[in-house]
Amino acid sequence: MKIVVLVKQVPDSGAERNLRPDDNTVDRSSANNVINEMDEYAIEEALRLQEAHGGEVTILTMGPERASESIRKALSMGPDGAVHVLDNALSGTDALGTSRVLAAALQRINPDVVLCGAESTDAGGQVLPHMLAERLGIAALTGARKLTVEGSQLTIERQTEEGYEVVTAATPAVVSVWDTINEPRYPSFKGIMAAKKKPVETLSLADLGVSAEQVGWTGALTGVASHSKRPPRSAGQKVADSGEGGVQLVEFLTNEKFV
Amino acid sequence: MNSAVSPFELLQLDGLLSDEERQIQAVVRQLMDRRVRGDVGHWYDSGHAPVRDLANEFGKLGLLGMHLTGYGCAGSSAVAYGLACMELEAADSGVRSLVSVQGSLAMYAIWRYGTEEQKQQWLPGMAAGQLIGCFGLTEPDHGSDPASMATRARRDGDDWILHGGKMWITNAPLADVAVVWARAEEGVRGFLVPMSTPGVTAREIKQKLSLRASSTGEIVLDEVRLPASAQLPEAQGLKAPLSCLTEARYGIVWGSLGAARDCFDTAVAYSQSRIQFGKPIASFQLTQAKLANMALELQKGFLLALHLGRAADDGRLTPEMVSAGKLNNVREAIKIARECRTILGANGISGEYSVLRHANNLESVLTYEGTSEIHQLVLGQKLTGIAAFS
């Protein structure tokens, strides 16, 4: 089984993140950049599929030069190799453009299963798996909390607010996963040391047959018009307990749909 | 308040490490955060750590014998091994001791001095953490002077008979195998002693006030019969066990820094939030002077450790260099731990904070693997050409 995992390098969501004032894009220069958290679950799921069914796991990343750090980290978990789409013209590319580029790369690799995180911690659009499936004309199994494979049949439990749905499709397919699906492994020292020797193929837009006009700022169909800091938190609501405190708390939680 | 930087960020020492080294360090730190840091205070309190569980988890990561090659070992650089020791000991010296004894003493002795059969039999299981090893050199009456050891090995046909006792042996009470050093007619020899061998008993040493999250024992060898195949054939004389100690000492050069760093980080955070005389105690000049001095020693210690690590990776490391590293870094680490305790005031003696636990642990670290005094004498001999001991 040929598995591709989409890995995006994002600013660390645990640290302060900013948008750049000039072009409203994520400031990646000052940020500590890491593998998008949900993608680690996709990598883990790919490795488990490989352990159960054989085949190979390839990381696919679109991003600037520094994204190669995240590629090496992803490889240290165990995948066999990686493809890095790297081109200066990609700066400013929106989700549609990204899906165009990744679809072109996926057509080259021709995998049975494409795994990815259900969302990124920077843009958080959750649209890419659907766009990719549409461009490639294959099924999209999104928001999985469980994935099973029997022959060419994929079955997921699709996580919803109320519970889950069982969805099936035949390979090839795009499967996006939530962090409920598994517990990602730590890279072992052997994995870390082996990662630097694994093949990473770097592809340009020309290699993929995508023109620079279709991507980047010029090709973007969406854009961020402006941005502002979230207003400071309001003071909240104090509940003074005079025998009714518990009831008031439950009412608050119910109104806010926490319970 | 201006953003605080860690002492290693101050001189950008992080930039001296490769991506791979940083990644190995980060993975160990995460493992300590997830598995050790939250519980180690309780282990220390109760005098019992889940050593086998830890060994299994450490084995999965590749921590055990990580700097050795083959037989399931990771084959990392000496610098990467040092960084791992630093992160382990930032959690607790006892946890680092577990890894040092397993990898640098027991596994290294087999890897360096054992037969192919001995390596195949023991190393893969020890690397995986399924088998625990210990290292018996020190005796109740023979510490700094191991050459006078009382444990004897004598031949009986093809077999060996071992008789004697070993003291202060980390992991002895739960070990599967001990590397035991004994004096034979032809000199000091090393033996692989399965702890289940008739005549071998191990007793846990209780009432320790240091390294309480580590298992320490006494081994009694009462006419223990071993086959000829139990002997480590390449180990000829006291140089063999001393070379193992050099390996372990190297890890301590880094590890002690980790304990000191954890104390330092704790003290900085405490000083920023502890209000006295209407302001954080971090704003007092005496506190800042303490922090500045400690940060200097941490950075100097790091540079020393890294220098030794790079030398080891180039094959240039000598035992005297390791003595210099151990002498300096442990001595400074225990000073830093005690100084940090003063910043935490009364809270410094509480188990809620790590500083006095580290300081108490470092009392052991100061003594084991060659006391500070012995390392001073090693350097003294090198500098003057005169041995003050022997």
Q: A43 or B2: which carries more pLDDT confidence?
A: A43
Is residue A68 over pLDDT 90? Answer: yes
Residue in B20, B60, B63 closest to A192 by CB: B20
Is residue B184 over pLDDT 50? Answer: yes
Cα(B181)–Cα(B136) distance, rounded to whole angstroms? 6
> What pLDDT was estimated at residue B3?
55
Put simply, the answer to whether B23 touches A193 (Cβ < 8 Å) is no
- Does A192 contact B at CB distance below 8 Å? yes
Question: What ranges in chain B are assigned the alpha helix state H?
Answer: 7-10, 19-31, 40-46, 51-61, 78-91, 93-99, 108-113, 116-127, 239-273, 285-313, 319-343, 355-367, 372-384
- Does B66 contact A at CB distance below 8 Å? yes
pLDDT tens-digit readout, A187-223: 999 999 999 999 999 999 999 999 999 999 888 888 8
Is residue B7 over pLDDT 90? Answer: no
Cα(A54)–Cα(A6) distance, rounded to whole angstroms? 19
ipTM above 0.90, yes or no: no
Dihedral sign computed on CA atoms, order B256, B260, B265, B269: positive
Burial class (CB in 10 A: 0-12, 13-18, 19+), B75: middle
- Does A189 contact B at CB distance below 8 Å? yes
Q: Nearest to residue B246, comparing CAs of B79, B105, B102?
A: B105
- Helix (H) / strand (E) element for A218: namely helix A216-219
Put simply, the answer to whether B20 touches A190 (Cβ < 8 Å) is no
Q: How far apart are the first and last CA of chain B?
A: 56
- Lowest mean pLDDT across B5-9, B28-32, B221-225: B5-9
Q: Nearest to residue B86, comparing CAs of B254, B214, B246?
A: B254
Cα(B328)–Cα(B254) distance, rounded to whole angstroms? 11
Position B385 confidence tier, pLDDT thresholds 50, 70, 90: very high
Put simply, the answer to whether B24 touches A188 (Cβ < 8 Å) is no
pLDDT tens-digit readout, A217-245: 888 888 888 888 888 888 788 888 888 88
Average of pLDDT values for B185-196?
Answer: 97
| Smallest Cα distance from B5 to chain A, Å | 15
How, if at all, do strands A33-35 and A9-11 pair?
Answer: antiparallel
Cα(B23)–Cα(B30) distance, rounded to whole angstroms? 10
Q: Nearest to residue A92, comparing CAs of A243, A213, A247?
A: A213
Distance of CA B174 to the CA centre of its chain: 18
B80 contacts in chain A (CB < 8 Å): 189
Closest residue of B to A69, CA-based? B19
Q: Which domains does chain A have, with CATH numbers?
A: 2-219 (3.40.50.620)
Cα(A241)–Cα(A252) distance, rounded to whole angstroms? 14
The pTM of this model reads: 0.87
Residue in B19, B61, B66 closest to A186 by CB: B61
Residue showing tokens 């040391």: A193
- Does A193 contact B at CB distance below 8 Å? yes
User: CB neighbours of A67 closer than 8 A, spacing ≥ 6?
Assistant: A9, A33, A61, A84, A86
Mutation choice for A interface testing from B17, B18, B19 by most A CBs within 10 A: B19
| Helix and strand numbers, DSSP H then E, in chain A | 8, 11
Residue in B23, B61, B76 closest to A73 by CB: B23
Alpha-carbon distance values, B131 to B174, B178, B274 (Å): 10, 11, 46
Angle between helices B78-91 and B19-31 (to 10 degrees): 30
pLDDT tens-digit readout, B70-113: 999 999 999 999 999 999 999 999 999 999 999 999 999 999 99
Q: How far apart are the first and last CA of chain A?
A: 42
Is residue B134 over pLDDT 70? Answer: yes
Q: Is the peptide bond before B227 cis (omega within 30 degrees of 0)?
A: no
- Does A187 contact B at CB distance below 8 Å? yes
> What pLDDT was estimated at residue A96?
93
Cα(B23)–Cα(B87) distance, rounded to whole angstroms? 12
> What pLDDT was estimated at residue B4?
67
B19 contacts in chain A (CB < 8 Å): 69, 72
Select which of B21, B87, B339, B369 is catalytic: B369
Cα(A242)–Cα(B274) distance, rounded to whole angstroms? 34
Is residue B1 over pLDDT 50? Answer: no
Q: What is the mean pLDDT of chain B?
A: 96
- Does B20 contact A at CB distance below 8 Å? yes
- Does B187 contact A at CB distance below 8 Å? no
Alpha-carbon distance values, B333 to B82, B300, B350 (Å): 16, 11, 19
